[in-house]
Structure 1
Amino acid sequence: MTILKVSDLTRNFGGLCAVNNVNMEIDEQELIGVIGPNGAGKTTLFNLLTGVYEPSSGKIELNVDGQMKSIGGMKPYAVTRLGLARTFQNIRLFKDLSVLDNVKIAMHKNIKYGVLAGIFRLPAFYEEEEKVEKEAINLLKIVRLDHKKDEFAKNLPYGEQRRLEIARALATHPKILFLDEPAAGMNPQETGELTALIHEIKEKFKVTIILIEHDMSLVMSICERIYVLDYGKCIVSGSPEQIKNHPRVIEAYLGEEI
């Protein structure tokens, strides 16, 4: 079943067309890669899909309770409530909060106690806070960070900060998880561990995953389908086998006529 449909999506910045008539159709629980050379429009596409930017034209539709709902131009918080979550190319953690608090803070939309319960510390407050903390610790176990729950996020090694961002995104209970260059800056061992983690998340949470990545070994090993962007356009899409030796993909990366 289609969970996300993108039709003729375009975003202009003055005279620059960063995303140009992109079309995508993503099914539930697919693992999709978005690749392309630097400046191809990949992160701009993610920003459009997650509400950071408003489309200049085109449609973004999300399957909400069996009906396709237009979400183009909605604010990021509204898109998050509908089940879209993301990580960022440049890590955006609350660096002076603990690892645990970084995950708990993403659960605010699911907290059920009211203002009065929070102010007067009524039983509903303690019950809900206990539930939130338990879920946050379980997410940290999945990304192998539960033993560092009380450390400041800024003190984590780079690869662990990346995993914490993923845990925070999962805390919003997403239908679709967008990962923007999750392996950036990682060594081969960390990349291997990340690959296994992405597989585990997909199976455990039954979530659709769309990732931008420059590490072609990771993309080719885990993605079921791949979209290739170049100068804002989707030049080809298909399976890893179809993509890896495609003349237009080689031309886009090497700048050569094939």
Structure 2
Amino acid sequence: MPPLLTLSDLTKTFGGLSAISNVNIEVHQGEIVGLIGPNGAGKTTLFNLITGVYIPTNGSLTLHGEVEINLAKASPHEIARMGIARTFQNIRLFKNMTVLDNVLLAFHTHVNYSMWEAILHLPSFNKKEAQLKKEALDLLKIFNLDRKRDTLAKNLPYGEQRRLEIARALALKPRLLLLDEPAAGMNPQESAELMELIKWMRKEFNLTILLIEHDMSVVMGICERIYVLDYGSLIAEGSPEQIKNDPRVIKAYLGEV
């Protein structure tokens, strides 16, 4: 079976400077894969390439399935509909919308209304809206946010904003979920709870997960494989144990362990 996602000789330059250089990565169905490296190594640039924010200078990105899809030729909203969702290092919610509306907005990417259904609020429209609201509330309940459905996103504590962002990403019904530093700003207890949540999400939603993270307890605790970037190039790939003991990774990122 081919990988779910393949990056082949992926390169991205800005003004002649390489942010990503000849990167090769495979992510297989059902895996939790880590992407680590120093600040400025190119990790978020790689996520932006996968999700269509940037177009690669060279190389290819392929989403495998019944039909192989060249992601480099798709727009961000098309990629989202294909089954790739993400969260961001800096939380990007619609802060002046309610918790419920943030999630409903994501669910709506999978529903098509005719103009007349929406304008006239026909029974078919009302039925679809009711079903979406139920699904959104069910999802919020999983993340213990259902009681705050009418709260503006900006008024949530940081940890709840992070959970809402993950819930909104899941509302896109992805096959591949990209998590950009999900443990940022969390204390050790919250990080431990996050690890359990990620493992549960993988099983419950049949997800494949690629995550960027600086918290090594999270990376080493949940990832089956880890890729390491430095100055835009891959310097290592392997199991957590292999990465932890790789001299190149220790020198570039982990320090003496």
Decide: shared fold, TM above 0.5. Answer: yes
Q: Which band: TM-score by shorter chain?
A: over 0.9
CA contact (8 A) 2:5 2:63 kept: yes
Give 1:112 deviation, angstroms.
3.5
Rounded to whole Å, the distance in 2 between the matches of 1:194 and 1:200 is: 10
What's the counterpart of residue 29 of structure 2? 28
What's the counterpart of residue 94 of structure 2? 94
Rounded to whole Å, the distance in 2 between the matches of 1:121 and 1:252 is: 58
Alpha-carbon RMSD: 1.2
What's the counterpart of residue 140 of structure 1? 140
What's the counterpart of residue 19 of structure 2? 18
Give 1:144 deviation, angstroms.
1.7
What is the number of equivalent residue pairs in this alignment? 255
CA contact (8 A) 2:44 2:180 kept: yes
From the superposition, tell whether residues 73 and 232 of structure 1 become closer, same or farther in structure 2 (CA, over 3 Å): farther
Give 1:255 deviation, angstroms.
7.5
Residue correspondence of structure 1 range 4-83 to structure 2 within 5 A: 4-65=5-66, 67-83=67-83
Structure 2 alignment gaps of length 5 or more: none
Residue correspondence of structure 1 range 1-258 to structure 2 within 5 A: 1=1, 2-65=3-66, 67-253=67-253
CA contact (8 A) 2:47 2:178 kept: yes
CA contact (8 A) 2:10 2:20 kept: yes
Q: CA offsets per residue over residues 23-45 of structure 1, 9 Å max, x none? A: 01111011000000111000000
Q: Percent same amino acid at aligned positions?
A: 60
Q: CA offsets per residue over residues 89-144 of structure 1, 9 Å max, x none? A: 11110001100000000112211432111111110111000110111111112222
Query: What amino acid is aligned across from residue 117 of structure 1 in structure 2?
Result: E
Which segment drifts farther, 69-78 or 2-11? 69-78
Q: CA offsets per residue over residues 229-252 of structure 1, 9 Å max, x none? A: 000001010110111111000011
Give 1:8 deviation, angstroms.
0.2
Give 1:187 deviation, angstroms.
1.2
CA contact (8 A) 1:8 1:58 kept: yes
Structure 1 alignment gaps of length 5 or more: none
Q: Secondary structure at the match of 1:105?
A: helix
CA contact (8 A) 2:139 2:167 kept: yes
CA contact (8 A) 1:55 1:73 kept: no
CA contact (8 A) 2:9 2:22 kept: yes
TM-score, normalised relative to structure 2: 0.96
Q: Secondary structure at the match of 1:210?
A: strand
Rounded to whole Å, the distance in 2 between the matches of 1:173 and 1:209 is: 13
CA contact (8 A) 1:224 1:239 kept: yes
Rounded to whole Å, the distance in 2 between the matches of 1:172 and 1:211 is: 17
CA contact (8 A) 1:112 1:128 kept: no
CA contact (8 A) 2:81 2:110 kept: no
Kindly report structure 1 stretches of 4+ aligned residues shifted beyond 4 Å: none
Q: CA offsets per residue over residues 9-31 of structure 1, 9 Å max, x none? A: 00001131000100011110110
Query: What amino acid is aligned across from residue 249 of structure 2 in structure 1?
Result: V
TM-score, normalised relative to structure 1: 0.96
Query: What amino acid is aligned across from residue 203 of structure 2 in structure 1?
Result: E
